[in-house]
Structure 1
Amino acid sequence: MPDIPIVVLGGGGVGKSCLTIQYIQGHFVDKYDATIEDVYRKPIDLDNQPAVLTIVDTAGQDAFGAMRDQYLRKGQGFVLVYSITDAESFQQLKRIYAQLCRVKGGKSVPCVVVGNKIDEVNYRAVSPEEGSLFAAQAQCPFLEVTAKNRRMAEEVFETLVHTIRNGGNASEQKHANGAGGTFRTDARQSGTGLHASDNAGLHLVAPSALSPPSYPKKKKSMRSAVSAAALLSLPPLMR
């Protein structure tokens, strides 16, 4: 079976290990040593195409700067994780992505942008529109999830595998929210407008009262920004 090397990137404390362990072992860990770097192997059979995922869960302090470039060079796909409750983790992820693009030498990089901790939406510091805009600039899928939900963790890695197999071309973005639905946006056509699609098996992880705020004024300007961002060539200039 073909081997697909995947690297999970993001700052410390954003839930990279929790998301990976939920996918590999099917349970949520409350406490984890963020200084440990792990490598997992998981056989999959997605769309009747068997493969083995080799997943590198990078340690938080190595996510940027001291991280060895060979992980970036050898990775075939990348899970880019930030916490929706931590604005600095979002800015750090942009810097990590810029480093990834430099190492890859401007090649198309199959990625999925993941806003984790949607179960803590009352403490949201990064809006869905901001995450969607960044994903549009990177031309990759966008999801908001909680590592406490196994189906959402599966959706992250399955979406990345689909993106890798499609040559890194992701015209649709997926947005999995705390209300239990799956939403898709086309980065090239519909901006950040969220449109309901067929149920993908994601379950309720937070009461509807905790659904993300709509940001009505911001959403209008973001739609124009995303349409413009979608025309940018990779790698985009991230600051």
Structure 2
Amino acid sequence: MADGERYRLVIFGAGKVGKSSIISQFLSNRFEEKYKPTVEDLHCREYHINGHSINVDILDTAGTMQFPAMRRLSISTAHAFLLTYSIDDDNSFEVVKQIHEQIREQRTNWDELPIVVIGNKLDLETQRQVHPDDVRNVIATEDWKCGFLEVSAKENFLILETFQKILELAKLPVARELSPILKRRMSEYGSYKGKNRRRHDSAEEFKESEKDMSRSRSLIRRTRPKFKPAKDPTKNDCVIS
């Protein structure tokens, strides 16, 4: 493995679906109530594994269609995608459909790239407009070959699992680094209503989705040595706005 190799995860979605909040919870375990529109933010994390450095970039994109050239560039340079909508906004899922179609048109190897669809704001269940069965039906009938689950950035529910899973699908060894953190955070979901049922349903849902992604997802087309966990997986090395 080349030292300093970079991998880019791009998170797409309409405005106000919680893309920045999802990233903030993952990197800093923090949720901001105040909404601030994003044009483009790049979050970098460097891992030192077995004497080598691996850089993972998380690109937070604009929630509007005002920057088509920027969106095309983000699609062309990504190694993996998180497509985000809000369960209380059916129009936001239409945006996800558009973005997925653009990925399919622009990337000839789209079916080899890790893609996960995220329904955010599960804490707004009573205001739901997008039902999970409808999302699963679109994924199946249109052969999206992607994972799917619902999360809550506000409650930090299934956020870490989301990133762990997509890094695993990308065959990145840094996914192993998240396992001990994930175990420590399990207790944080104890106060979430319906937690046990939703966690079980989401886990089973993701397992089923993975069957559709059984093709090679490797972003590294070469043999790797075994890796040891990084010393400080929680460190956020840089944030570029």
| TM bracket (short chain) | 0.5 to 0.7
Between the aligned partners of 1:90 and 1:63, the Cα distance in structure 2 is 18
Aligned residue runs from structure 1 range 73-92, under 5 A: 73-92=76-95
Between the aligned partners of 1:71 and 1:113, the Cα distance in structure 2 is 17
Aligned position for 1:180 = none
Aligned position for 2:60 = 57
Between the aligned partners of 1:21 and 1:53, the Cα distance in structure 2 is 15
CA apart distance, 1:152 = 2.0
Between the aligned partners of 2:27 and 2:33, the Cα distance in structure 1 is 16
Show CA shifts across 1:4-44 (max 9, x none).
10100011111001101111121001113214320001235
> Which residue, out of 8, 13, 25, partners 2:28?
25
Aligned residue runs from structure 1 range 174-189, under 5 A: none
Aligned position for 2:215 = none
Task: Please tell me the residue identity of whatever aligns with 1:133.
Answer: N
CA RMSD of aligned residues (A): 3.8
CA apart distance, 1:205 = 5.7
CA apart distance, 1:97 = 0.5
Aligned position for 1:148 = 154
Show CA shifts across 1:167-190 (max 9, x none).
xxxxxxxxxxxxxxxxxxxxxxxx
Aligned position for 2:9 = 6
Between the aligned partners of 2:12 and 2:65, the Cα distance in structure 1 is 9
Distance 1:150 1:44, change over 3 A: farther
TM-score normalised by structure 1 residue count:
0.66
Aligned position for 1:133 = 137
Unaligned runs of 5+ in 2: 173-184, 199-207, 213-241
CA apart distance, 1:124 = 0.7
**1:115 aligned onto 2:115:** no
CA contact (8 A) 1:9 1:63 kept: no
CA contact (8 A) 1:119 1:205 kept: no
CA contact (8 A) 2:12 2:19 kept: yes
**1:157 aligned onto 2:163:** yes
> Which residue, out of 12, 19, 37, partners 1:16?
19
Unaligned runs of 5+ in 1: 167-199, 213-225, 231-239
Aligned position for 1:174 = none
Between the aligned partners of 1:18 and 1:127, the Cα distance in structure 2 is 22
Aligned position for 2:225 = none
* Secondary structure of 1:60's aligned partner: coil
Q: 4+ runs of 1 displaced by more than 6 Å? A: none
Higher relative contact order (CA closer than 8 Å, sequence separation 6+): 2
CA contact (8 A) 2:88 2:128 kept: yes
Between the aligned partners of 1:115 and 1:122, the Cα distance in structure 2 is 14
Between the aligned partners of 1:127 and 1:63, the Cα distance in structure 2 is 28
Aligned residue runs from structure 1 range 175-214, under 5 A: 201=186, 203-204=189-190, 206-208=192-194
Task: Please tell me the residue identity of whatever aligns with 1:208.
Answer: G
CA apart distance, 1:65 = 4.1
Show CA shifts across 1:131-187 (max 9, x none).
223444311211100012446221111111111118xxxxxxxxxxxxxxxxxxxxx
Q: Tell me which protein shows more helix as a share of its residues.
A: 2
Aligned position for 1:36 = 39
CA contact (8 A) 1:149 1:205 kept: no
Task: Please tell me the residue identity of whatever aligns with 1:156.
Answer: T
Show CA shifts across 1:206-231 (max 9, x none).
4239x78xxxxxxxxxxxxx99xx6x
Task: Please tell me the residue identity of whatever aligns with 1:201.
Answer: M
Between the aligned partners of 1:9 and 1:159, the Cα distance in structure 2 is 17
